[in-house]
Amino acid sequence: MSNNVKKSLKFNCLRCKQVINVKWVKGEGNYSSKNNWDYWTENKENKKSPSYICDECLLELYYRYKKEFKILIKNVKKRNLLGVYINEGVIGVKRPFFLPE
């Protein structure tokens, strides 16, 4: 395993075109899959030109389009993982369990 830390890659969100910085994950020896749309949807066809989606669009899909969310992300484990990422603040901001009064 090399000690090289690679530079972040820049992609545009497939939906809103916002610039996304994809960070290198040293422990995995690969770039983060958090915003990789092909990872979530298990699209194997786009190896050369992967599609990325920003945190805001993932949040909107998760909260506003539940039916489409379940259709697009077929793998239950990945749907659950994405929910954990959102609830723990890895994607977006961690929301308190109880709202302050």
What pLDDT is stored for residue 96 in this prediction? 65
pLDDT at 2 over 60: no
Nearest alpha carbon to residue 60 among 32, 81, 91: 91
Instruction: Quote the percentage of the chain above a pLDDT of 90.
Output: 68
Residue 90 burial class via C-beta count within 10 angstroms: exposed 0-12, middle 13-18, buried 19 and up: middle
State residue 92's pLDDT score: 84
Residue 100, pLDDT score: 60
pTM of the model: 0.81
- Please report, rounded to a whole number, the percentage of residues in the chain having pLDDT higher than 70: 87
* Rg of the chain in Å (alpha carbons): 15
pLDDT tens-digit readout, 41-83: 998 876 678 899 999 999 999 999 999 999 999 999 999 999 9
